[in-house]
Structure 1
Amino acid sequence: MKHIALIGNATWLNRGCEAIEVSTRALLVDALSDVRFTCVPFTIGDCREAADTTPGVHRLPPPDFDIPWMSYDWVRWRVHRRLGTGREYRALVSRYESTAESIGDVDAIVSVGGDNYSFDYGRPSRFWALNDFWRQRGVPVFVWGASVGPFPHGADEHVAASSLRGVSRIFARELDTVSYLDSIGVSENVSVSADPAFTLEPETCDEVNLAGELGSCVGLNLSPLFGRYTGLGPDEWLEASVQCVLRMGEVTGRRIVLVPHVMLEGQSDEAFLWRIAERVGSSVDLAVLPGHLSARQLKACIARFSVFVGARTHATIAALSSLVPTVTLAYSTKAYGINREIFGHTDYVMSAAEFDPNRLALMATAMLDDKEAVRALEERVPPLVQRARESAATLAGVLGVSVGSGA
C-alpha cells in the first residue's frame, strides 16, 4: 500500500479547495488502487472536514509556522527579509518536523492547492520550505494541478526556479504555466496536466427547490475577493454588484441564481450575496443557493444553468467541466490560461480592472446563443479530464506502480 500526503490545501470552507482534495484523492485511488492518504491543510474550519470518515484518509492539523521570537530561525527570517534575498523561507523548513513525525513513513508528498506557487497571496515561503524539507529527506514532491508564477524578477524568481527544479514533477494545469516555467529555466520536470477539479463527480442535492428550474437560469458568483481587485471600496463594490444583478436580470430576462462558493469568515460569498439579494429585493427574479452545499452538490446545481458567470476559479471550473457556457471574472493570470485552453482566446474573460455591469450582462447574453462556445466546451473539456487522469498515472509510474496493478 502506498502512503500519500496531500499538503498545502486550504479549508473546505473554500469549496474550490474541497473540490481539489476530493477529486485528487479519487484520481490517485484510480491510479494507485491500494493507497492511503494523510491530509495536511494549511487552514481548517469546515466541520465537515473534522467529521469526514472516508476510509483510508487521515487528517492532521496545519503545521505551526509561528517562529519563536529571537530564536535562530527568527533572526534568519529577519536578516534574509532585510537583505531582500528571497530566502527567508529557510527559516520555515524546520516547522515541518512535527508534521513529518505525525505523518510517519510516506511514499510521496503531493503539494495541492492550485495557485499556491505564485504571488497571488504573498511570497510563497511555506511552499519553498515544503519543497526543501521533504527533498532533504529523499521523499518525492509533486506540485499537483498548479498554476505557477509569475514571480518578480530578481531574487524571488531565482529562488522559485531553484526550488521548482528540485521537485520530482510539476503537473501544470494550463499551457501558460508550462511556458512561464520554461522561461525561467524549469522544463525537464514539467508535465502539462489540468486542474483535478475538472474530474469532480457531481452529487445531486434534493433539498434545492430550484433544481427543476435551473436549466433556464443564469448562475452568478460574485465575491468580496474579486472586489478588492477592482479598485472599488467595499461599499462601492457592493453597489456595483447590485447593479450587475439588476442589469443581468434585465438584459437576459431570466431568473438570476446567486452561487456562493467560499464561506470563509471575512470573505464569505454567502454573506456578500445575501447583502446583494437584500438590496435587489423583488426588482428581478432572484434566488440564492444555500451556503452549506458541498463542492459536489454545488457542481450538480451549476451544471444545470443555461449560462454561468463566476469570480471564484473553481466555481467557473465546475461550470466549464459541466459544459456550461461560462464568463470568467479574472483577478489573476490563472483565469486567462484556463480560457485559452478551452476557447483558444480570452473573449469570455473580464478582468477586475475592466469590470462593468452592463458589459458583463451583454457578455452573458451573447453566450446563451454562442454555438461556438458550446462546441469548444464539447471538444476541449474531455481532453482536459483525460490529462488529469494521465497525470495521476504518471505520478503512479514515478512511484513504481503500473496503473491498474495496485502494486
Structure 2
Amino acid sequence: MSENPTFILAGNGPYDNRGCEAIVRGTVKILRHYYKDPSFFCISHFKNQEQFERQSREEFDPAIIHRKTNRRQSKYDPNWLLRLPLRSVYPELYKNWMYKEMIPHIENSNSVLSIGGDNYSLDYGIPRSFTYLDDVVLERKKPLIIWGASVGPFKKIPEYENFMKSHLQNITGIFARESATIEYLNKIGITDNVYKVADPAFLMDATEPPSDKQIEIEENSIGINLSSLMARYVSNGNLEVWINKASIILEEIAKKTDNKIYLIPHVTTPSSNDYLFLKEVKERMKTSEEKIILLPPIYNASETKWIISKMRLFAGARTHSTIAALSSYVPTLSFAYSIKAKGINKDVFGHEDYCLNPEKLTPETVVEKIESMLEKEKEIRSELKAAIPKIKDEALLAGETLMKIID
C-alpha cells in the first residue's frame, strides 16, 4: 500500500452542488481504502470568491485542501477584456492561466483525477475547460483519469465529436460510471482506455443532521427534487411555463396520494438554485402548507442523503439526488434528460422503467408512475438490496484499477 500519496481532484463544481460534494466524499473513501494516509488537492470551478472561501472554511476533512481555477467571474471583472483574446488567440497561455494554482502540484502528485460526473458532455455547452485540464496534465507527463463519469454523446456537433474522439484516445484512463457511456464510446471507436466502474457517490455515507439542523421526517413520505435546468428539456427553455407545469404536477401528486411531500433541493448555486425554483413552484400551488414541506438549503451532501434515505419513494431530476436515493434502497423515479440517468438505471435495475423522459413529464404520467411504484415498493426495495452492493463494489474497484494503471 502506497503511503502518503497526494491526489489532485480537478474540474469539479462547488459543494453548493451536493452532487459535486458527494463525488469528492465517495472518491476520498475509495482512495483511502487502497492508499495509506492520502491527501487531496481539490481544484474546482467556483462562481465567486465568497463561495470558494466559504467552502474552504467549512471543509471538515483535514486531508482535503481547496483551490480554485481562474475564470472570468463577471463582466465587472476589470481584466475581462484582456482575457477574451487570451482564450481565443492564445489558448495555450489561457489553459495554463486557468489551472495555474494546480500546476505546481502536478509533479509530486500520484495522478490527476478529473471529477465532476458529466463534465465531458454537451449538457452545459462545449466542455472546453475540461479538455484544457486534460492537456495541462498530459503535457506534463502525469496520468490523467476521467473519474467515475458519463462521457458524451457529442453527435449533435459532428466536427466536435471527431475532435473528442481524438482527444479521448490520449486520456490515460476513462473510468465510466454507467453502461450507456461505454456503449457510446465503443460506437466511436474508443475502447482500449475505458474501464467500467460506478459513480463514487454511491459510497458516500449518510449523516444525520446535527442538533441545530435537526428535522423530523414523517413516515411514508415522498421526496421530490426538481430543477430550473429541466426547463431546457421540458419547455424549450421557457422557465415560466416549466414552473407552472411543475406546480400542476406536484398538486396532482398531493391530490392522488396520502403521503406528505418533501421538496428537496440538491443544487443551490447562484446560476442554478433548486431551492429558489421549488419555492416559486410551491407558492403557486393550492395544496395545504402542511402537506408540502420545502427543505431549507442548509444541509450538506451527506445530510441531504440521510433525509432522502427516510423517504418511502423519491422522484428526482438531479442525478446525484437519485444516486442518494438508490444507494439508500429507496424506490426512485428518475426524470431523465440525458444518457446518465438511463445508463445508471439500466445498470441498477436492468431496465429503464423507472425513468421518465422530458416529453412524458405530464401530471397524469408522473402520478401514474408514482402510484405504480408505491404499489411495488417492497419488490423495488428487494431489487435494490440485491443490486446496490454490487454497484458499490464497482465504485470501490475504481481504486484497484487506478493502482494497476499507475503502478
Task: Give the TM-score normalised by the residue count of structure 2.
Answer: 0.89
Q: Which residue of 2 aligns with 1:271?
A: 276
SS of structure 1 residue aligned to 2:120? coil
Report the CA distance shift for 1:207/1:344 in structure 2 as closer, same or farther (over 3 A).
Answer: farther
Counterpart Cα distance in 2 of 1:208 and 1:328: 28
Report the CA distance shift for 1:276/1:100 in structure 2 as closer, same or farther (over 3 A).
Answer: closer
Q: Which residue of 2 aligns with 1:223?
A: 227
Q: Which residue of 2 aligns with 1:114?
A: 117
SS of structure 1 residue aligned to 2:268? coil
Q: Aligned match of 1:74 in 76, 82, 88? A: 88
Counterpart Cα distance in 2 of 1:73 and 1:52: 32
Counterpart Cα distance in 1 of 2:269 and 2:316: 17
Structure 1: which 5+ runs fail to align? Answer: 78-89, 401-407
Q: Aligned match of 2:239 in 224, 234, 238? A: 234
Report the CA distance shift for 1:117/1:67 in structure 2 as closer, same or farther (over 3 A).
Answer: farther
Amino acid paired to 2:353? D
Once the two structures are TM-superposed, the CA of residue 102 in structure 1 deviates from its matched residue by 4.2
Once the two structures are TM-superposed, the CA of residue 134 in structure 1 deviates from its matched residue by 1.0
Q: Aligned match of 2:177 in 173, 186, 210? A: 173
Counterpart Cα distance in 1 of 2:135 and 2:103: 16
Amino acid paired to 1:106? S
Matched, 1:60 2:74: no
Counterpart Cα distance in 2 of 1:154 and 1:364: 38
Matched, 1:309 2:315: yes
**Deviations for 1:168-204, whole angstroms, at most 9, x for unmatched residues?**
1111000111111111111111110011111110001
Residue pairs, 1:252-267, within 5 angstroms: 252-267=257-272
Counterpart Cα distance in 2 of 1:12 and 1:346: 29
Matched, 1:350 2:364: no
Once the two structures are TM-superposed, the CA of residue 354 in structure 1 deviates from its matched residue by 2.1
Amino acid paired to 1:4? F
Q: Which residue of 2 aligns with 1:403?
A: none
Counterpart Cα distance in 2 of 1:334 and 1:342: 12
Counterpart Cα distance in 2 of 1:72 and 1:266: 25
Amino acid paired to 1:189? N
**Deviations for 1:257-312, whole angstroms, at most 9, x for unmatched residues?**
11011111242111111222222254371111221101000100100100001011
SS of structure 2 residue aligned to 1:363? helix
Once the two structures are TM-superposed, the CA of residue 336 in structure 1 deviates from its matched residue by 0.8
User: 8 Å contact 1:147–1:334 — kept in the other structure?
Assistant: yes
Residue pairs, 1:29-44, within 5 angstroms: 29-43=32-46
Counterpart Cα distance in 1 of 2:327 and 2:310: 12
Q: Aligned match of 1:93 in 70, 92, 95? A: 95
Q: After TM superposition, where is structure 1 displaced by more than 4 Å over at least 4 residues in a row?
A: 69-73, 206-210
Counterpart Cα distance in 1 of 2:214 and 2:86: 58
Once the two structures are TM-superposed, the CA of residue 68 in structure 1 deviates from its matched residue by 3.6
User: 8 Å contact 2:207–2:302 — kept in the other structure?
Assistant: yes
Q: Which residue of 2 aligns with 1:81?
A: none
Cα RMSD after superposing both structures: 2.1
User: 8 Å contact 2:176–2:182 — kept in the other structure?
Assistant: yes
Q: Which residue of 1 aligns with 2:186?
A: 182
User: 8 Å contact 2:251–2:287 — kept in the other structure?
Assistant: no
**Deviations for 1:73-105, whole angstroms, at most 9, x for unmatched residues?**
53266xxxxxxxxxxxx6743335622444252
Structure 2: which 5+ runs fail to align? Answer: 73-79
Once the two structures are TM-superposed, the CA of residue 113 in structure 1 deviates from its matched residue by 0.3
Q: Which residue of 1 aligns with 2:392?
A: 385
Q: Aligned match of 2:126 in 123, 126, 132? A: 123
Report the CA distance shift for 1:212/1:260 in structure 2 as closer, same or farther (over 3 A).
Answer: closer
Q: Percent identity?
A: 33
Counterpart Cα distance in 2 of 1:353 and 1:249: 22
User: 8 Å contact 2:86–2:94 — kept in the other structure?
Assistant: no
SS of structure 1 residue aligned to 2:334? strand
Amino acid paired to 2:350? G
Once the two structures are TM-superposed, the CA of residue 49 in structure 1 deviates from its matched residue by 3.6
Residue pairs, 1:329-340, within 5 angstroms: 329-340=335-346
Report the CA distance shift for 1:388/1:69 in structure 2 as closer, same or farther (over 3 A).
Answer: closer
Q: Which residue of 1 aligns with 2:159?
A: 155
User: 8 Å contact 1:132–1:163 — kept in the other structure?
Assistant: no
Q: Which residue of 2 aligns with 1:86?
A: none
Once the two structures are TM-superposed, the CA of residue 54 in structure 1 deviates from its matched residue by 2.1
